Structures are given as C-alpha cells and as structure tokens.
Structure 1
Amino acid sequence: MGEARKPNRLINARSPYLRRHAYNPVDWYPWGEEAFRKAREEDKPIFLSIGYLACHWCSVMERESFSDEEIAKILNRHFVPVKVDREEHPHVDEYYMRAVQLMTGTGGWPLTVFLTPDLKPFYGGTYFPKEPRYGLPSFRQVLEAVVQAWKTRREQVLAEAERIDRAVRESFAQWSRQERVEPSRRPIEAAFDQLVMLFDDEYGGFGYAPKFPNPGYLTLLLRHHHLTGDAVALRMFRKTLDAMARGGIMDQVGGGFHRYAVDRAWRIPHFEKMLYDNALLIQVYSEAYAVTGDPEYAETVRLTVDFLRRELRSRCGAFCSSLDAESEGVEGLFYTWTYDEIVSAFGGGVGERVAAFFGATVSGNFEGGRNVLFRAGRPEELASALGISPEEAIRVVRRRLLELREARVRPERDEKVIASWNGLAVSALVSAAVHLGERSYLELAVEVLEGATSALYEGGRVWRYWLDGRGDVEGRLEDYAALGNAALDAFSVTAKDRYLDLALRILDAVSERFVSQDGRLLSSPCDETGPHSGLQEDYEGVLPSGATLTFLLAAKAFHATGEERAYKLSERALATCGRIEDEPLAFPFLVANLPLLGRDSRELFVAFESGDPFEHVRAAISSFQPYTVIVPVDRRSLPEPLRNVAQDKVVVQPGPTYYLCEGFSCRMPTNDPGLVAKMLSERG
C-alpha cells in the first residue's frame, strides 16, 4: 500500500468546498494575505481557482488535474495556488468573472485565472481538461504557456494585467453614475418587448441551450400581464413554467429544481440543486397559481417546499446552500434510473406504463444507459394502469420511487447557511403560504427566519454565512437586504413586532454600512479595503441584486411606516441602477418591481384586536397583488414605527377592519374582505 497523502493547509478551511481539496498534492492557499505576501516575496504569479461544492465541472477538474502529481509540481514550483469558494467570497468571484468574460467572451465555473502578485488578472478561462479536447488546450499546456510568458515577456504580461484591470473597473463604473429613475411602467414594457425577441416559442424559456429558468424574466412577464392584461405575456410565462415543471430540470421524484438544462427542451439537467433557484421558483410558481388557479403550479410548489424541508434543513433551523451534482463520483447517478429499475419497482405492465410516463427507455437518454425522468405521458395513462385518480397515481408512483432512491448514496451537501439565500427562501415561503393558503409554509418560514437570524445576525451586522456553529465573513449588500426583506414579509402576515424591528434595524445598517461618502450604494461594506472594494453591481443574473433587494426592503418599509429615511434609501437604490431605462433586462427583478413606488402601489392596513393576522390577510388577498403592501395593525400593541401612519387605523367592531390606501390616502374602512378583494382587483 502506498503512503497516505498528507493534507495541505485547506484541511483547516471552514468551506466544505475548500476542504474537498485538502488532500490534493497542490500546495493550496485560501484567499488571504498569506498567499498574497508569498507571491510578492517570491515574485510568482497567483493561480486562482474559483468554484463551489455543487459544481460538476469543478469536481471533474479536481479529479483530473488538481489530484495529479505532475500538474501539482508545476503549480507549486511556478505559482502560488489559491482556491476560493465563490459562495464564501462572492466579491472575488464577481470581479474575476468579469475579467474572464472580458478576456474570452464567456464565463462559468470552475473559474481559472492567473494574477500578478498585486492581484491583477492577465489570463484566464473556465474548465481546462487534463488532455486537449473539446477544442481546448490541456491544463498542462496552459500552465506551461503562462510560465513561459511570465519568464520571457514579463513587461507585456504586466501591461496586459493593467489593461484588463482597468477594463474591469470601467465596466463596473459605467453603471455608477447616479441618475433619478422614475418608478413607472415604461421599463417593464421595454423589457417585455425584448423578452418577446428572446422567447423560445417551441419549448418555452429564453434562448436555446444551455437553458436557465431565469426567474427574473418570469417575474417580469407576470407583472407585465398584471399591469396590462397582455395575453401574450401570460402565454409565454405559462409555456415556460409548464415545460420546466414537466421536464428533467425538475426532479420528478423528489421535487425541487436542478440548476439548468443542457438541452433546449428542459429534459437533461446539470444536476446540482441550489437553495436560491428553488426559493425563487417557489415564489414564481406560487404567484402563477394565484393568477391562474392551475393546480399543477400548486403541486410544483408543494414538491419544491417538500424538497427544501426534507433535504436542505440545517441544524440551526435555516437552509443549507446546495447539493452536489455527483454521487459516488458520477454526475446524476442519484437522480437517474435504468429502464429495468423502474419496471421492477412496479412489476410487469404497470412498470412499463410508469417508464413510458416518465420517458424512460431501455437505451436511456443519459450516460451509461440511464434515464433522466421527465413527464412524457399524461396522468390519465398512469391512473388507468393503477385504477386510481390521476393526481393520486402520480403521488403513489413518486412515493415508491422516492423510497427506492433513499437507499442510494446521496450527493454531498454544502452545509453553509447563506444569509441572502435564506432571506429569499423565507420571502418565497411567505408568498406560498398566502397564495396557497398553507399555514405550514408560514410556520416553516418563521422557523427558517428565526434560525437564520440567530445564526447570522449579530451586533447589528449580518454574516455572509454560518457553518459549524458560528458566522463568518461580513455579509454583502444582498445578505443584509434579503434578510431585512424576509423579516418584513414575515411581519406582514404575523404582526410580530420583532420582525418589523429587525427589518428597520437592517435598513438602517444598509444606510450606514453600504452608502459611500459620494452617495453610491456599494455591493460590499464601505470600510472594506482591497482591489475589489468600492464596486457597484451593474447587472443581476439568476439572483436579484443587492440594489434590488434594498429597493424592495426600503420601498415596503416606506409604505408600512411612512418614514422618510426608507423612501430616500429606495431612491438611492434606484439611482444606483440609473441606466435601467436603456437596458431594462440588466436588472429584471428591479424593473419588475419599479411600480412599488409609483402610481400602481397601494397599502392595505389590516386592523384587528383578536384572531389570526394570517387568516385576516388571506381573507382579503384572493388575487395576485404584487404592488400592494400589507401592514397588519394589532391595536392591542401598536409598534412605535407604525404610529405615524396607523394611529388612526382603528377597529370597527367586530373587526378586522381593512383600510385600502394609495399614497396613505385611504378609502372608507370596511370589515368585508370580499369588498377589499373587489377593490384590489379594480385596477392593475
């Protein structure tokens, strides 16, 4: 037997992704001054590798290259190798991803970047194979070329690094001019026109392959339909949701969505499961159910919430960040099936009908003759085979397959509890509770909020993540604002003072920690130093930006309290994204929510002295109302922040009493929730 390999310094890292590399022969450093000092003292370039635990190609590169002794010798001799978890240091990932995108026109993970000792990028890419393939050079060839360039063309390399660093900063700065943005419908209309051009009429979604869910685009479509009644927007929205819910991108057995599909038809996914994707899609499908009443959307929500509850709960009560794409070193092994496995699970003719329903064949549609399950048949076909209703037939089949799958080796879970992703999950669960009338979702939302707050909020500051009993790394703007939003959303249906207080304390912390001296809203704390400090977000991808989340928190807080400081922060967040009227799809979540401060916005004060605030709200909100801010007013103990706007919102017995207002100018109060629902539906 060979000698056991000794661990490198990543054995002491907190990140599970970094610890995965602890037994590589590569002499890894975590991101920090120790690595930077070594690079300066030894005059070596830094080899920077950025990834995350659930990333399939990150795992492939770790096995192929970072475990290879010869590759390790080159890295250790000629570079200072640095490994970064993008979820731990998103600002580092954001900066160097932009650099690679400017250099190559593409980006992704693993992110591979070569830096000067002063941290300026001069060459990069994403995944490089061990041997030349896919039209890519081998990783060894790349390393040898960089070593040669550093030795023989140093001045040219340094000049290139200066040029790229300047280009990255200029690309961020182009959005940094402060412009007043009118919170109107116009950017939504402009964004919709662009989405029509991007829409895939055959399979739904936007573009071709790979295909991402794009919850920001879906949010835009539904709000455009809400404001205008545009049937085309609703058709695009529903076609995409139907295709995803029936495709392989959704786990047809255990619920929840994989990160994206590699094909145009949504059938073959990349198998990692991220908390943020599932949180945002719970919100989208909940809203879809509120608009359409389609039970398939409600069932998709239920399956996804069940997945979160079953597979991502942390011991602190909040949610862990992700599940790996691989198990036993094989991508998708946990989630895929052979034809025989399905047939034998049900026996004979019934098994064949189940296999046909899920599109499974003997030859398979995935690697190794295995099948990614998708909805290829009609539920009625299953029902006739099992002799029960279509809805029950699907549940019975899923339950049986899930029982069998639970015996398999599970994908690794990243145990990090990330503030912003948990904030998104709480807000989504509150939305699902209201739209589906599921009290258990509200109870889960409160448990997650309590767990996240206990783990991540300390002394007025928000940690980026919690792991192994403690928080670490101060949060970014998105972490503060998402947690504040979660608290405000929880307050809207529980009337618990402490949630309103938490939201307003976080709002103040955002103003104190993230607004620069020249009035810009930064993505990282103002006192942060280093080459990646002082930057603003200039677009949002799958996730809503920190600026968008700040706008939502501040706008809703203003409607709830009337406080000027909240209104000013909402305007500052808008000004940060001053070019959205020119490029509305750069910030789809923000554009979709702009009317929250415009003439389409309203406040609904729900005054009560007894009973359940959740039921009081549910009685009146029977339709989709994205621009109506719910403010519960418990007359037994009126919170101080509500006194300016709610002191006169009294209960007309027997209560509860509803006050529908526009700009705090209110209609006559009523105790009739049906009348409130009618008034809410009068205008988009």
Structure 2
Amino acid sequence: MSAQEKFTNELINEDSPYLQQHAHNPVDWYAWGDKAFKKAKEEKKLIFLSIGYSTCHWCHVMEKESFENEEVAKILNKNFISIKVDREEMPHVDKYYQDVYNLLNNRAGGWPLNIILTPERKAFYAATYIPNVSKYGRMGIKEVLNKLADVYKFDSLKVVSTSLQIESALKQYKNAYKGEKKDLSLALVNKFVDEIENSFDKENPGIGTAPKFPHAASIETLLDIYATFKNDKALEMATSMLKAMGNGGIYDQIESGFYRYSVDEEWMIPHFEKMLYTNAELLSVYSKAYRITKDKFFKKIVDELISFTKIRFEDNNLLYSASDADSQVGSEKEEGAYFVFDYTLTSNFLKENGYNTEEIEKILNYFNITETGNFEHQMNNVYLSDEEVPPNLEKVKTLLKELRSRRQYPFVDYKILTAWNAMYISALFEAGKINENYSKLGLKYLDTLVDKLYVNNILYHQRLVHKKPKVAGLFEDYSFIISASLKAYDYTLDKKYLSLATKLTHEAKDKFYKDSNWYMSNDEFESMASVYDSSYKSSLSNMIDNILKVAILNDDLDLQELAKSNFENNSLLLASQPSSAAWLLRTLIGFEKGYINLKANKNMLANKILPDHPFLLRKVTDDDTYLACKVDVCFAYSKNFKEIIGEINTVIKDNEKL
C-alpha cells in the first residue's frame, strides 16, 4: 500500500468504479449485502447508506469534505455500519430510497443520497449532499451523525416506531394511484400539451426553471404528438427547446455531447458530467426533429453526437456509461476544468496559429469567451452567440480541441450497462432513418450487446471490460433491450430479433410482474417500477409500449390485454398529471389510435419506403399480398404497394383527429 493509500476498506474487493473510488477512504465502507446487514444487527448499529455514482460532482465534493476526513470517519466507524451503493449498479435500491427522500422532504432527491437506517434496514432520515460543517442552511455531517446516534442510543424505540411509520406511509404513497381507475382518452393529449406550455420557459426555451434538465421523453412525446395529430404548438415548443439546447452551454460546442443538466435557466452553465442515457435520448429526439422539419441544424447535432460517442465511449462495439464533471488540475480535481476556456490563453493560442486581432475577436464573441468569464475563476463555458459565424468554423473547433487536449480528460466510467447501451442502440435506429449507416452501427452494437450480456439465456445488468458479467438483469435492462430488438427487427426483417424481443417480454413478465405490479428487480429487495419519467424515460412505460408492439406483431391478444390492464392500473396517475408520465401518454396514443402493422413476405417488404410515422410497424409473413392491420382487425389488403400505402396514409390522416 502506497503512502497515498493509508486506509483500505471492504470496497477494494468490488468491481464498481464508483465503489473503487471510495476503497481508500478512512470510512469503514461495506458494499450492499448480507455481510453489512448481519454486522449491523449483531452490533446493534445504525446503517449509514450513501448512494451515488462515479461521475457525480457533488458525490466527489462530499467525499473530499467528509469521507476522506478522519474525524467524520471516526464517528461513522464508531456508531454506524457504512454502506456505499453505486446507483448505476443498483438502480432498484436507488429508486426505493429516492422515494423515501421524496416522502420525507416533499421534493425530488438526487445524488449523493444519504439515508440513515435502523439495523433492520428501516429508513428514518434522508438527505442529499451534507456539508462537512453547517452551511447553506444545512446542518454539518458531524452534527447530523452525532445527533442521530444519540437519538438511537437513548430512545431507540422511538426511532424504530418512526421508521415503521415511514415504511407504512411509503407503501400508501406508492399505492396512492393504484386503486381508483380513470377512463383514459386522447383528450389527455391536449392536457399534456397544456401542462408543458404552463411550465414552459418562453424566454429560454425549456421546461421549468433552474436547474434545467433536457426532459427528452417529454420533447419526443411532443414530436410524436405533432407527427400524429399535427399539433403545431407541440412542434413549436419541441423544436425551440432543441434549438436552445443545441446552441447552449449544456451542449459541448467543441467536441459534442450533452451534459446532464444546466445549473441556470439559460442553458449556459452545466454540471459537466456526460451520461450515455442523456445522449441516447437526445440523439433519438434530434433525429425525429430533423425528419419532421428537415432543419439541417438538427442533423448536424445527430452527426456530431454519434461521432462524439464513438470517440469517447465506444469500446469494441459496447459503450461506457458516463464521463465525469471534474478533471484533475495538479493534485486537485476541479469541476469543468477540461471543458472551459481562459480568455487570454485562448486569444494567445489563436494568435500563435495565424489569426489576427479582428479574427480572434470574432471567434471569441461567437463562442462567448470573455475576459470576465461566465464560470469559476473567470473561465468560460462556451455557448453560441448570435454573432457572425467565423470562417472555417470546423478548423477553429479543431484548434480549440487541440488547446483542450493539453488538459486531462475527465474520468470515464467504463461500466457497460445493458439498459443504457440498449437505449443508445434504439436511438441509432432512429438516426438510421436519416443515414442508413447509423442503423448498421446500431445492429453491430446490438449483436455485441446480446453476445456479451445475454449469456446462456441469462440477461445481465452490466459488465466491466474484460470481465465476465455478474449482476442479473434488472427490469430496465429487459425493457430497453426489448425496444432495441424490436427496432432491429423493423430494420432487418430478421425474425431472430422479433423472437428475442418476444422471449424477453415473456421472461420479464415472469420475473418482475407480481400482483398487478411491476418490480425493478427479482430479489428480496422489492422496489416497484413507476410510470413517472425521471432521469430518463420510465422503463415501465417503455415496457407497456413493448408489450403492445409484441402483441401486435405476434397477434397475441393475451399480451394486448396485459397492456390494457397496465393502462388501467396507472390510469389515475396519467389522468391526474400526464406531463409527469410523458412516455406513458405517448404509449397511450399508440394504444388508442392503434399501431398500424403492414404484413407481407420479406421480399415484398424489403427496400420499400414506408411513411415516417411513430406508430407504424411491419411484419414478415408468408403472404404474397400486403395486409394492413391493427391489433385485432385488418383494414386493407392489396398486391400493389402504392395502393396499400395509400390506404395506410388515409388511416394516418384520419388519426389526426383527436
């Protein structure tokens, strides 16, 4: 052990890059599991549960301030059993305790998430970032830990009672929308659009205020609403948000890639972590926006995103999960250090490369690089101004990349997550409708993902490069790989992809569907899946859409009925606030209007251009006649392709009426 590694704890035995980051803290960390739980019971100690991920800025801040602090470690080691969880490795555990936080604090949580549990794993305290000393209106961690330890020491019965009340309240909270059923209709489409408009920032197009997130599921739903119903308001809001983000500081204007969110309402300053899921969802959205509008700005973003992902995240046809917000500067890490620009340094660098004063001024104005800066230490996060575009813009960007390359690129979390890879693959198939090479890339990625993470008929949640997968597939892994497989089937018409999607759909139902509820995992820790869209689209809403498509493609009325019952079970929530469950609303449109399924033999379907419509499928049969159907009825047949497409277009046109 080196001088820098004075301490080593149980996390040294874990594969997760995030847990490895904490392996040399003075805190006596344990991984989530029986060893830690047994120790807490035997020693009658509270559990300090801390959930985060490897590229999370505030997780790093809390580690530096508190978990590397020997005084804090002494309190934790004396009075608590401390457990670290990688939320990307265990999203079901994270989801459960995010719900606890929401219940106790009446607002959404985030990371790091810190929960205090009884030895029996009953939660009674929840916080996100806790400062080392009292500040920002928050109690410092030493004070928090000492007070909670004292409360448990002197009045453990009260703590246990409180924790049981919280557990009961959480069950009621989760079932609040499950009992009463509402009639669902497409009137909810207008309600959804109105709700988005009510929270829409017209000055800085986006949903809500600071901190501002992309809300990709909502934007894609707006685009599909336009594609189905020709709702101009939906299209205008969607495209204005995409323009604002694509020109803003939430998008890396030099190397591409969207950061996770903007800390301000103007899309100017992000937290600088780049997540695979963020870029997967936005790749799909920008692809659809281009296909609807033919605006080349959207296609530019699509091309740049795919290039960025290949350069920074790809490894042998699989994709890493994220890159960090913080970069190494000397012996310390600083947020955004790799990405931001210094005015003087940038000016001098451009001068060294042959630009004159006037040209340099135009370049700096275009990228909003100023002497005063817009970020810490008078540094600048670049975003595009309305100034004239500099000549040879790509050459300028190449030079700015070169200037960046003198700094250390942030840490990249090299976990291969099945769900996030599948999300990106699905997005490539959407982009493939612009450029077929992207569909070919998606197919290559999918085949590799299935080969490496669906081993001996077992789907796995994740793997590390050059290591065998260990963690069994979770509900979200099934949900998103089924979607990717269905898109692969639509692109190739190869029955093996439909067979895989069908098999995994039934397997998911057997593993995760119990008592009319879907669960995020198939272990003793039961966390219910939700139709709420969160960091990304709801895996449950996505699964309902999968079930609907698999039902239609296989003429399976039992699955059709399962989709219907899932709408009923979530009807109160959707009817109450459709903007909270955008992806479920989008799925409802497919259910109510009915997916259109074009059937014929493979030769008749191959190389035929179909209308670009979000609710149109195709199915290979042995027939030498085109047949256009919905789930339980066919409405047209013909041996002539143009004729059948005319019939389909008539139905699509009729469907524009709400």
Tell me what 1:250 maps to: 251
Separation in structure 1 between the aligned mates of residue 256 and residue 85 of structure 2, nearest angstrom: 30
Residue 666 (structure 1) aligns with: 636
Name the Cα RMSD after superposition. Answer: 2.2
Q: Find 2:389's aligned residue among 377, 382, 393.
A: 382
Deviations along 1:364-423, one digit per CA (max 9) or x if unpaired, are: 100111110001134xx234xx3xxxxxx3333223322332342111111111111111
Structure 1 position 156, deviation (Å): 1.9
Deviations 1:502-524 (A, max 9, x none): 111101101211221x3333332
Are 1:620 and 2:610 an aligned pair? yes
Secondary structure of 2:319's counterpart equals: coil
Matched residue, 1:461: 458
Q: Which amino acid aligns with 1:372?
A: N
Deviation at 1:608, TM superposition (A): 4.2
2:348, 2:582 → 1: CA distance?
46
Separation (CA, whole Å) in 2 of partners of 1:111 and 1:229? 42
Q: Deviations for 1:625-681, whole angstroms, at most 9, x for unmatched residues?
A: 1111233x3xxxxxxxxxxxx33244xxxxxxx654444332434334996596576
The corresponding residue for 2:24 is 23
Which residue in the other structure is 1:584 paired with?
Answer: 578
Tell me: CA distance 1:538–1:665, structure 2 relative to 1, closer, same or farther (3 Å). closer
Match of 1:200 in 2: 201
Alpha-carbon distance in structure 2 between the residues aligned to 1:534 and 1:109:
18
Name the CA distance, whole Å, in 2 between partners of 1:560 and 1:341.
59
Could you tell me which residue of structure 1 aligns to residue 504 of structure 2? 506
User: In the alignment, residue 461 of structure 1 is paired with which amino acid?
Assistant: I
Letter in 1 for 2:623: D
Structure 1 residues 303 and 341, CA, compared in 2 at 3 Å: closer, same or farther?
farther
Offset of 1:606 from its aligned partner? 6.0
1:126-205 matched pairs, under 5 angstroms = 126-177=128-179, 179=181, 182=184, 184-205=185-206
Is 1:511–1:569's contact at 8 Å kept on the other side of the alignment?
Answer: no
1:273-352 equivalences under 5 Å are 273-315=274-316, 317-328=317-328, 329-347=333-351, 348=356, 349-352=358-361
**1:355-370 aligned within 5 A:** 355-370=364-379
Report how far residue 308 of structure 1 moved.
Answer: 1.2
Which of 638, 646, 653 is the equivalent residue of 1:682? 653
Alpha-carbon offset, residue 279 of structure 1: 0.5
Deviation at 1:426, TM superposition (A): 1.0
Q: In structure 2, do the counterparts of structure 1 residues 405 and 57 end up closer, same or farther at CA, with 3 Å as the change threshold? A: same
CA distance in 2, matches of 1:451, 1:177: 42
Q: Indicate if the aligned counterparts of 1:180 and 1:574 stay in contact, CA closer than 8 A.
A: no
Which residue identity lines up with residue 281 of structure 2 in the other structure? L
Report the equivalent of 2:227. Answer: 226
Q: CA deviation at 1:71?
A: 0.8
Matches within 5 A, 1:419-430: 419-430=418-429
Deviation at 1:67, TM superposition (A): 0.5
The corresponding residue for 1:70 is 71
Tell me by how many angstroms 1:2 deviates: 5.7
Matched with 1:446 is: 443
TM superposition shift of 1:277: 0.8
Seen in structure 2, the aligned counterparts of structure 1 residues 238 and 2 have a Cα distance that, compared at 3 Å, is closer
**How many Å apart are 1:598 and its aligned residue?**
2.4
The 10-residue stretch of structure 1 (169-178 or 668-677) with the greater mean CA deviation from structure 2: 668-677
Tell me the residue number matched to 2:535: 542
Residues 466-485 of structure 1 show CA distances to partners (whole Å, capped at 9, x for unaligned) of: 11422232222221121011
Q: Is the 8 Å Cα contact of residues 426 and 445 (structure 1) preserved in structure 2?
A: yes
Q: Which amino acid aligns with 1:584?
A: P
C-alpha distance in 1 between matches for 2:4 and 2:395: 51
CA distance in 2, matches of 1:278, 1:3: 36
Check whether the contact 1:520–1:572 (CA below 8 A) recurs between aligned residues.
Answer: no
In the TM superposition, what whole-angstrom CA distance separates every residue of 1:138-170 from its partner, at most 9, and x where no partner exists? 111111111221122222212211111111222
Q: Structure 1 length normalisation: TM-score? A: 0.89
Aligned partners of 2:131, 2:163: CA distance in 1, in Å?
A: 25
Answer whether contact 2:529 2:539 (CA < 8 A) is retained.
no
Query: Tell me, which stretches of 5 or more residues in structure 1 are unaligned?
Result: 387-392, 634-645, 651-657
| Aligned counterpart, 1:413 | 412
Which of 647, 654, 672 is residue 622 of structure 2 equivalent to?
647
- What corresponds to 1:636 in structure 2? none
Question: Unmatched 5+ residue regions in structure 2?
Answer: none
Distance of 2:624 and 2:513 partners within structure 1: 34
Whole-Å separation in 2 of the counterparts to 1:447 and 1:463: 19
1:562 aligns with 2:534: no
For the 8 Å contact 1:342–1:351, the answer to whether it is kept is no
The answer on whether the counterparts of 1:548 and 1:590 sit within 8 Å (CA) in structure 2 is yes
Counterpart of 2:368 in 1: which secondary structure? coil
Which of 477, 493, 502 is the matching residue for 1:479? 477
Deviations for 1:522-553, whole angstroms, at most 9, x for unmatched residues? 3322xx21xx3163425221322232121121
1:629 is aligned to 2:600: no
TM-score (norm: length of structure 2):
0.92
Distance 2:151 2:617 in 1: 59
Deviation of residue 441 (structure 1)? 0.8
Whether the aligned pair in 1 keeps the contact of 2:531 and 2:539 (CA below 8 Å) is no
- Seen in structure 2, the aligned counterparts of structure 1 residues 512 and 340 have a Cα distance that, compared at 3 Å, is same
Distance 1:583 1:443, change over 3 A: same
Q: CA deviation at 1:272?
A: 0.7
Secondary structure of 1:337's aligned partner: coil
Aligned residue type for 2:614: P
Please report how far the alpha carbon of residue 290 of structure 1 lies from its aligned counterpart in structure 2 after TM superposition: 1.2
SS of the residue aligned with 2:598? strand
> Does the CA contact (< 8 Å) of 2:531 and 2:541 recur in 1?
no
Spell out, residue by residue over 1:216-261, the C-alpha distance to the aligned partner (whole angstroms, 9 max, x if none): 2212322332333222222211211111000000011111100000
Contact 2:213/2:261, CA 8 A, preserved across alignment: yes
Letter in 2 for 1:627: F
Is residue 50–residue 112 contact of structure 1 (8 Å, CA) maintained in 2? yes
Conserved in 1, the CA contact under 8 Å of 2:493 and 2:602?
no
Kindly indicate whether the alpha-carbon contact (under 8 Å) linking 1:181 and 1:574 is maintained by their aligned counterparts in 2: no
C-alpha distance in 1 between matches for 2:367 and 2:628: 48
1:106-137 per-position Cα deviation (integer Å, ceiling 9, x unaligned): 31110011100111111121111112221112
Deviation at 1:295, TM superposition (A): 0.5
Query: What is the aligned partner in structure 2 of residue 238 from structure 1?
Result: 239
Separation in structure 2 between the aligned mates of residue 430 and residue 557 of structure 1, nearest angstrom:
18
CA 1:145–1:587 in structure 2 vs 1: closer, same or farther (change >3 Å)?
same
CA contact (8 A) 1:485 1:553 kept: yes
Report sequence identity in percent: 32
| Matched residue, 1:640 | none
1:210 and 1:263 in contact (8 A); partners too: yes
Assess if the C-alpha contact under 8 Å between 1:487 and 1:502 holds in 2.
Answer: yes
Indicate the residue corresponding to 1:609 in structure 2.
603
Q: Secondary structure at the match of 1:682?
A: helix
- Tell me the SS of whatever aligns to 1:235: helix
Structure 1 CA distance for aligned equivalents of residues 380 and 152 of structure 2: 47
C-alpha distance in structure 2 between counterparts of 1:89 and 1:589, whole Å: 23
- The aligned amino acid for 2:227 is H
